Chain A
Amino acid sequence: MAEILTPKRLTIKVCVGLAVLAMVMCLCALVGTQKISLERVFVGPGNEPGQNTDYEIFVGVRLPRVILAAIVGAALASCGVVLQAILRNPLADPYILGISSGAGLGAIIAVLSGLTWNFWGGSPIAVFAFAGALITVWLVWCIGRLTGKAQVTSLLLAGVVVNAFFSAVIMFLTAIAKSEQVFSTIFWLMGNITEKDPLVLWVGAACILTGICGLFGICHNLNVLTFGEEQAKGLGVDTEKTRIVAFGLAAFITAIAVSLSGLVGFVGLIVPHGVRLVFGPDHRQLLPISAVIGGAFLVAADTIARIVVAPAQLPVGVITAIAGGPFFLLLLAKYTRKVGWLK
């Protein structure tokens, strides 16, 4: 019975993953448009700005970016795992239930309103995007419940409808906005990792980590839920509660990720698939490992985005798409023998 997952095996795998993540983060923090050396960084900051630029670049510019990329990547990958399980659809990603258009709408409203106050270090765009994302998910949930007993299908349809409608509103607002506001919004919508306040990063990381731990608690139920509602009930799973917890936490985590970095695509869709191809579909394992790999993936992608067309920067979403696609095909080719139903 070599197959059964034990806490010990899982812990080992997760620790190895975390070590890999830490290594990737450190390596990427040393890479950038300016050459810096690690020894100079350890000398410490000077009394005045400009004395130890290596330290300032490493700690003030690169480290926040790398940490942000890690937590956003982890958030998106975990949500992708959960939503693919709940919706029993391998094409689900964290934005499927209207989060992307809701957050975008929030963002553009914030830009148009021209507000400038700060909320716990979060700019108006971040706060409005977060609110927009959550409100939209709630709206989709309500519409889904109203319109159908076949929960999963009606939720997906409601998500599509809401996405379409809000995208239209975004287009309208974009057309009447001032040009620099438009540019700002589009830039934000493409997803980008920037340097953030430590407080913001702290709050964001705490929320996301808590959310991921919460999602871990329902992972064994998710396994069963992928067999369908009836079968899950027959095996003692409270499907309603599991679904609510899953959606609520996934929406919350994604909303936080989106408010921090805009809409970074591809991570939530392919990282779960990649990890599933290598480690199998047991969600108790899939979720933590996807979170770690998602973080590492986005850190690497962001580093490439920073340096490939220096001194300009590409939006990180471009790199995730370009790099993710072929990488995924490679994985698919290598591990197809493990997956019977693809034959």
Chain B
Amino acid sequence: MRGIIEVENLSFGYYDKTILKNLNFKVMQGTFLAVAGPNGAGKTTLLNLLCGLLKPKNGSIDIDGANVESYSVRELAQKVAIVRQEFVPVFDFTVTEVVSMARTPYLGILGFEGPADKKHISEALEMTDTAQFASRPLANLSAGERQRVFIARALAQDTAILLLDEPTTFLDLKHQVGIYDLLKRMQREYSRTIVAVTHDINLTIQYCDETLLLGGDSSYRYGSATDIFSSQQIEKTFGVRTFEGTVGKQRFFLPIGKFAKANQITNGKS
């Protein structure tokens, strides 16, 4: 189980609009990478490129030393798991059935799960705190609970690389932190490579090792979270003023909008 992602000179766009230009970075095994940037910067597009759904216009993406396009769909699914945002329910599968689908890349021709598969499924349910819903139809859950189920599915897929597209969007505070703790645990104990698109700068700084900041104008910056984020950078990329503070050695950023209460207090101070 390796999990190395190498992106070389990656460019991608639609028709005449370029979204990503000459992206170059390498993610080593067992890294927790955050992908940040304003809306439309190409974060989801990048994830889709990494999992082989989209083909780059230029450049290449290598997973574990081989080009993404050289893997069959099944082989790639055994290496890369992706958690997306959309959910269009057509039929009412239960939570357990949904999480069991993660074992599809490993099943034989008739498609029945073996004991190893069942072990992964139950572990995934335990880790994401969704075992209590195991028999409920997916559509009966709240958005947050559903999101945890999809994360459980990705964990059950038992891949070296986990791609997550805004995994904590609908989650309450307990579960937001819970998921990040879980992802960190996957990284530390199981050496998984995690790539998470996230809007939460503070959690990024707390948990992630590396950050890829997409500028929205096809520019990018790659480095450690502490290096990348600063009040000036945030204002430049997101157009939002922030108050910078520290807790021990870690910095945190409090966004200050025009009508935010904190604005009156820190007026003038950046």
Give the B-binding residues of A (Cβ under 8 A). Answer: 1-7, 85, 88-90, 216-217, 219-221, 223-224, 226-228, 230-231, 233-239, 276, 280-282, 284, 338-341
B109 proximal to A (CB < 8 A)? yes
Q: How far is the CB of A180 from chain B (nearest CB, A)?
A: 46
- Residue with the greatest number of chain A CB neighbours at <10 A, chosen from B48, B52, B88: B88
- Chain B interfacial residues counted at CB < 8 A: 44
B176 proximal to A (CB < 8 A)? no
Can you name 25 A-B residue pairings with CB atoms under 8 Å?
A1-B121, A3-B96, A85-B91, A216-B110, A220-B104, A221-B104, A228-B86, A231-B84, A233-B77, A234-B77, A235-B101, A235-B102, A236-B74, A236-B76, A236-B104, A236-B105, A238-B74, A281-B91, A284-B111, A339-B92, A340-B92, A340-B137, A340-B139, A340-B140, A341-B137
Q: How far is the CB of B35 from chain A (nearest CB, A)?
A: 17
Chain B 63-107: CB-based contact to A (< 8 A → 1; otherwise 0): 000000000111011101110101011111110110011101101
A4 touches B93 (CB 8 A): no
Shortest Cβ distance from A10 into B: residue: B112
Q: How far is the CB of A92 from chain B (nearest CB, A)?
A: 11
Q: How far is the CB of B72 from chain A (nearest CB, A)?
A: 8
B77 touches A235 (CB 8 A): yes
Q: How far is the CB of B61 from chain A (nearest CB, A)?
A: 15
Cα A73 to Cα B80 in complex, Å, equals 42
Please give 15 more A-B residue pairs, beta carbons under 8 A apart, in addition to A1-B122, A1-B134, A230-B48: A1-B96, A4-B113, A6-B112, A88-B90, A220-B110, A220-B112, A221-B104, A233-B53, A234-B51, A234-B77, A236-B73, A236-B77, A237-B73, A280-B93, A341-B137
A230 touches B100 (CB 8 A): no
Q: How far is the CB of B132 from chain A (nearest CB, A)?
A: 13
List the B side residues contacting A284 at CB < 8 Å. 110-112
Cα A90 to Cα B91 in complex, Å, equals 8
Shortest Cβ distance from A216 into B: residue: B110
Known contacts A1-B121, A3-B97, A235-B102: A220-B92 contact under CB 8 Å: no
Q: How far is the CB of A37 from chain B (nearest CB, A)?
A: 44
List the B side residues contacting A339 at CB < 8 Å. 92, 137
- Residue with the greatest number of chain B CB neighbours at <10 A, chosen from A220, A282, A284, A338: A220
A276 touches B91 (CB 8 A): yes
B53 touches A217 (CB 8 A): no
Shortest Cβ distance from B138 into A: residue: A340
B128 proximal to A (CB < 8 A)? no
Known contacts A1-B118, A234-B51: A224-B104 contact under CB 8 Å: yes
B112 touches A7 (CB 8 A): yes
Chain B 108-142: CB-based contact to A (< 8 A → 1; otherwise 0): 01111100001001100000000000110101100
Cα A3 to Cα B121 in complex, Å, equals 12
List the A side residues contacting B242 at CB < 8 Å. none
Of the residues B88, B96, B111, contact of A220 by C-beta under 8 Å: B111
B187 proximal to A (CB < 8 A)? no
List the A side residues contacting B48 at CB < 8 Å. 230
Shortest Cβ distance from A343 into B: residue: B140
A341 touches B105 (CB 8 A): no
Q: How far is the CB of B44 from chain A (nearest CB, A)?
A: 11
B73 touches A217 (CB 8 A): no
Cα A233 to Cα B81 in complex, Å, equals 10
B157 proximal to A (CB < 8 A)? yes
List the A side residues contacting B91 at CB < 8 Å. 85, 90, 226, 276, 281
A237 touches B122 (CB 8 A): no
Q: Which 10 A-B pairs have the closest CB atoms?
A: A220-B111, A236-B77, A236-B105, A340-B140, A281-B91, A341-B139, A3-B96, A236-B74, A340-B139, A234-B82
Shortest Cβ distance from B80 into A: residue: A234
Of the residues B76, B92, B100, contact of A4 by C-beta under 8 Å: B100
Shortest Cβ distance from A235 into B: residue: B104
A221 touches B94 (CB 8 A): no
Cα A16 to Cα B140 in complex, Å, equals 31
Cα A3 to Cα B93 in complex, Å, equals 11
Of the residues B86, B109, B157, contact of A217 by C-beta under 8 Å: B109
Chain B 153-171: CB-based contact to A (< 8 A → 1; otherwise 0): 0000100000000000000
Q: How far is the CB of B190 from chain A (nearest CB, A)?
A: 20
Q: How far is the CB of B54 from chain A (nearest CB, A)?
A: 10
A282 touches B122 (CB 8 A): no
A338 touches B113 (CB 8 A): no
Known contacts A7-B110, A235-B105: A223-B86 contact under CB 8 Å: no
Shortest Cβ distance from B95 into A: residue: A3
Q: How far is the CB of A12 from chain B (nearest CB, A)?
A: 14
B73 touches A233 (CB 8 A): yes
A4 touches B118 (CB 8 A): yes
Q: How far is the CB of A263 from chain B (nearest CB, A)?
A: 26
- Residue with the greatest number of chain A CB neighbours at <10 A, chosen from B80, B89, B90: B90
Q: How far is the CB of A248 from chain B (nearest CB, A)?
A: 17
Q: Which of B220-248 contact A (CB under 8 A)?
A: none
List the B side residues contacting A338 at CB < 8 Å. 92, 137
List the A side residues contacting B140 at CB < 8 Å. 340
Q: How far is the CB of A90 from chain B (nearest CB, A)?
A: 7
Shortest Cβ distance from B51 into A: residue: A234
